[in-house]
Amino acid sequence: MNRRPAPPCNLQGLNVLVTRPAEQAAEFSELISAAHGRPVGFPALEILGPEDKHAVRRQLGALDRLDLLIFVSANAVRYAFPLLPDQIPLDLRIAAVGRATGRALEAVGLEPTLVPDASFDSEGLLALPALQHIEGWQILIVRGNGGRPLLGDTLRARGAQVDYAEVYRRRLPQRNPANLIANWERLVDVVTVTSVQILDNLFTLLGEAGSERLRATPLVVASERIAREAADRGCEQVLVAPSALDRDMLATLCGLVD
């Protein structure tokens, strides 16, 4: 029988606001509960599939002309995988922007050949030695709608031909935060944030009154980039997890109670 490993700490009495999309929050919430914490679900992002699956499938069907296929998030892997061809060229380089993305690729049987070893973001990927001399490369970036331009712009500046396959859409949920805001002190001791989009949406959803509470509450975030954005918005205490992986986020939560 497979048993879940013992929790790394005791989160007894800690109320953790979980802001991931609802369909991706279950395992993290279970880990918090197993550590005797209390997960409080408040999804601040909705993820939808592409508007035109057939167009995306055609894009992903031309992998044999590529030198590099880049996945920018675990969501990019989840939504692209059903649309990928059955046969992936064996010599195709596959890159993941971070650990969680790399783990998602491994889970579907794809081995990433390029993963940042320090900064788990576009900047970290761009710093890899293998991506410094790429003139003439054909690169496809798999992402959601309206992603950051930094990765593609920098690769183009280095001489690559870059296209995008937008395999999912992000949307602001329609949520009423009144109960959460009114009971914030009782319900929320720490907020977890795994993307800049989620942070932006939290401020939008919570409004002025809720945003003041958010700024005064400890945040556990999944990258230095999110931490910088949180600091710019006036958040007073921000802890940075090693990655967006559930276990890394949980380990950082443990730092609040140790």
Instruction: Specify the CATH number for the domain of residue 114.
Output: 3.40.50.10090
Q: Which of 170, 190, 218 is the last residue of a domain?
A: 170
At residue 4, the pLDDT reads 66
Low-confidence ranges of the chain (pLDDT < 70): 1-4
User: In angstroms, rounded to a whole number, what is the distance separating the alpha carbons of residues 162 and 80?
Assistant: 17
At residue 1, the pLDDT reads 43
State whether 56 and 157 are in the same domain. yes
Q: Which of 170, 192, 222 is the last residue of a domain?
A: 170
User: In angstroms, rounded to a whole number, what is the distance separating the alpha carbons of residues 202 and 42?
Assistant: 9
Q: What global pTM score does this model have?
A: 0.86
Percent of residues in the chain assigned helix, strand, coil, to nearest 5? 40, 20, 40
In which domain, by residue range, is 99 found? 48-170
Q: Which of 135, 155, 170 is the last residue of a domain?
A: 170
| Nearest alpha-carbon partner for 116 in 95, 94, 144, 90 | 95
CA 137 to chain centre: 27
User: In angstroms, rounded to a whole number, what is the distance separating the alpha carbons of residues 130 and 247?
Assistant: 29
State whether 118 and 40 are in the same domain. no
Report the number of secondary-structure helices (H) and strands (E) in the chain.
11, 10
At residue 3, the pLDDT reads 62
Q: Is 213 helix (H, G, I), strand (E, B) or coil?
A: helix
